[in-house]
Structure 1
């Protein structure tokens, strides 16, 4: 069947597209690509890749490829983009609107089909003001992309399996969700999406972060999925053949394939590509983003009041150094980077060092993959330290109640810059985080 490969999306985690991937696009074995902007040195290099992909598809008389930009983790190397949680906490709707609108126009101008981000958690169906805030900005994200001619691809976690789904998901669908990204290790109830939720976008199964077997591809399409995201190490020829063989054996309904191809074709609304230019100034984008990060700053525990004048700090980090080290370098009396499971004797030595130097101790709970053991923090919590948590903000609640914690729910450089500025007293903290369910603006 012609265009069967349009059901497959390949992942590119390299700064250049491999010859094998270009060959697969030219031959029609894959219909698009997921690009990771974090590995690209510049916006111009991204533009070059996009042009190359379009030219390659045209050379093979193939449809225009679906080009997704995965902004889930970070695009800070190219553009500043605060997380959805930062946007929701800051509450600066005008700045968020300007930032998203400008970024969407830039991405559309570059020839990108859709944006993969952010993640929507639908496991908790209990309504709360915190959930309402996130839903509001998620809807704004979707609408801004659609208005610019881009398709919003949003990861849904966990995969809904019952008609009783969260209001946040329903609101996002009603806003114009282009595609739902569903985890590869969870079964998908396609009839729930099509019949109960009246979802007309793409259902995409993502096998990048789970065990992958090519036999899962035809099974997913037969189950009602429209597209499959392949991991970067997948064999594209073998993946395409798995689809072709199952279709020829009549194990895969041609009707379902045609339905998926129709939805994919509707996704690729033909629009002329524009030459990339830097007419949109980077300065206002950076200013809007930094303003959001600054206003997203919240504290747990007592209000933090930095000492007037030059303040010396002691910084403790877990796992690996973060941007905080360089941002606070001029104010550091000492610095220690500890293992995630440090020796208690080292902790007491640091405690004695902070008392001897009479400095404010800053504890950055920065391990991205583990939650710290609360008992490990005890030796460092006398006198009262200042905690920072960016990867796992809820870790701040491991600190004693009389300790102050800071976060703005993001991990980009600008987010760290806001926290560092607050620590040394350059900017004020705009909100309080009394419990994990709610953030209160001051």
Structure 2
């Protein structure tokens, strides 16, 4: 049975599912999901770390998903992933390693980065993944941004545009769909749209010059998909508290008409609080498609996925969604899927590992008394436990263990403190560290400033070394005569590069993709 007709073409229930990309738990697709795919209620599947055990399992999983679509006589699925690099990296361990965007930019090694991104895309295509929700085109110019940070290439829009173009071209040369995000920009927020509804208050001229520039360049460079931001932009849309994801003014007037983007418009996950707690996931899905989105992402909950499909179907039946808008979205999905090209090549893991290590080691930057490197003798190490990764980041990322293991032979005393240590804990560390270097592995100290109390100097006979693991901005408040190091990436591989710098095996000479105004204590 058809819903609507537009020039003789019927929109059917089977078509509606092409607009939905969904996620699930486990290493195997549940029978309910396979059934929904066969029935045409799903057009894409997003994978997370929770779905990935190893390459063999992953190939079996993606094959089973595509087989379900084939059995239902539907187009092949989008099988997507967030494989940006660094903290947002669902494929780890035995897969092609990928540093964060900011680490790549800090290394300045465009040739190695482009080749590594290409190898990663080749590997993903071979595993049955055909769409990557990357690159991140946000200009991270707000030190308090809790969700972007090192996921961005930096704070300068032209710099971000240049690296974003490199990333998308390397990805798409492997036959994969690259997806720039988060339009029109999530870099200058101090809230995370997973848990709040951020607002960017700037006037249009500033947004044109900063936030939009990387997207303009990416569109001109052939970017095939753009992901929306659950962020409010009053300068673009006068409707109060209406985020970009459900804004016709932003998706249709700005993105399509002014910037001339003709590719696939993807929403960020509609289960994020910025949508779910304001308009609701199912209603948000309807509003997003009506506003101009083509692919709606619902990453976790089967009931919300089903409710969203039903809401779109109801909108098609009662005429709330026009036939023209539905056909536009379906055509965009179909055209984008037709651009996916399988490659006969295999990723060389050894080459990829070498390239990644080159980038991580080239990304180590330092401030302060770098002439006091390398560290000699025993040291006191402070790390912070209880760190909660932002929902965007890989929950399996271990911020502390790699550093502890790598420094273990030199560590005379190790303190694992709460993320907001109390005065007694700080005093205990200061007493223990007398006479030896104190290495403090800062983790989001810009949001947990009590960590910086550990850098206060109650003695004169010990060197202080601050390692900024999650945020390079943590190094803004280091004491005079101390050392600050960062690799712009919290991963274990980046921590290994930091340890090499402490040992004097490499020198921290990377460029800074952000401005670090050091205010010595």
> TM over 0.5, yes or no?
yes
Q: Does 1:403 align with 2:482?
A: yes
SS at match of 1:140: helix
Residues 174-323 of structure 1: pairs in structure 2 closer than 5 A: 174-184=220-230, 186-187=243-244, 188=247, 189-190=250-251, 191-206=253-268, 207-210=270-273, 211=276, 212-235=280-303, 236-269=305-338, 280-307=347-374, 311-320=377-386, 321-323=400-402
Match for 1:50 among 32, 41, 62? Answer: 62
Contact 2:24–2:302 (Cα < 8 Å) also in 1:
no
Q: Which runs of 5+ in 2 are unaligned?
A: 1-11, 143-153, 187-198, 232-242, 387-399
Deviations along 1:137-181, whole A, 9 cap, x unmatched? 211110111222111112213399958523222112222222111
In 1, Cα distance between equivalents of 2:367 and 2:264 = 40
Given that 2:361 and 2:494 are in contact with CA atoms closer than 8 Å, whether structure 1 keeps it comes out as yes
Q: Residue 353 and residue 124 in structure 1: after superposition, are their counterparts in 2 closer, same or farther (change >3 A)? A: closer
Aligned to 1:152: 178
In the TM superposition, structure 1's runs of 4+ consecutive aligned residues that sit over 6 Å from their partners are none
Q: Aligned residue for 1:17?
A: 29
1:106 corresponds, among 111, 116, 123, to 123
Distance 2:68 2:380 in 1: 54
Q: 1:17 to 1:368 in 2, by over 3 A?
A: farther
Distance 1:14 1:393, change over 3 A: farther
For residues 381 and 22 of structure 1, the distance between their equivalents in structure 2, rounded to whole angstroms, comes to 62
Verify the 8 A CA contact 1:111 1:274 in the aligned structure 2: no
Change (3 A) 1:304 1:121: farther
Q: Partners in 2 of 1:404 and 1:422 — Cα distance?
A: 11
Q: Deviations over 1:383-437 (max 9, x none)?
A: 4410011211101112224321111111222111101111122222223659726
Deviation (angstroms), 1:60 = 1.1
Q: Which moved more, 1:52-61 or 1:398-407?
A: 398-407
1: distance between equivalents of 2:72 and 2:501? 55
Bigger mean CA offset, 325-334 vs 359-368: 359-368
> Deviation per CA, 1:214-240, whole angstroms, max 9, x where unpaired?
111111111111111013014232221
The 1-side partners of 2:219 and 2:458 are apart by: 46
Q: Cα–Cα, structure 1 residues 142 and 262, in superposed 2: closer, same or farther, change >3 Å?
A: same
Aligned match for 2:495, one of 416, 419, 423: 416
Q: Deviations over 1:45-91 (max 9, x none)?
A: 22111111111100111111111121141233322001111111101
How far apart are residue 135 of structure 1 and its match? Answer: 2.5
Cα 1:70–1:378 change in 2 (3 A) is: closer
1:134-149 equivalences under 5 Å are 134-149=160-175
Deviates more, 1:420-429 or 1:12-21: 12-21
Tell me if structure 1 keeps the 8 A contact 2:108–2:511.
no
SS at match of 2:414: strand
CA RMSD of aligned residues (A): 2.8
Residue in structure 2 matched with residue 388 of structure 1 by the alignment: 467
Contact 1:129 1:438 in 2 (8 A): no
Distance, in Å, in 2 between the alignment partners of 1:361 and 1:397 is: 18
Query: Residue 14 of structure 1: CA displacement?
Result: 3.1
- Residues 169-200 of structure 1 show CA distances to partners (whole Å, capped at 9, x for unaligned) of 21122222221111346233121001111111
TM-score, normalised via structure 1 length? 0.89
Q: Conserved in 1, the CA contact under 8 Å of 2:115 and 2:170?
A: no
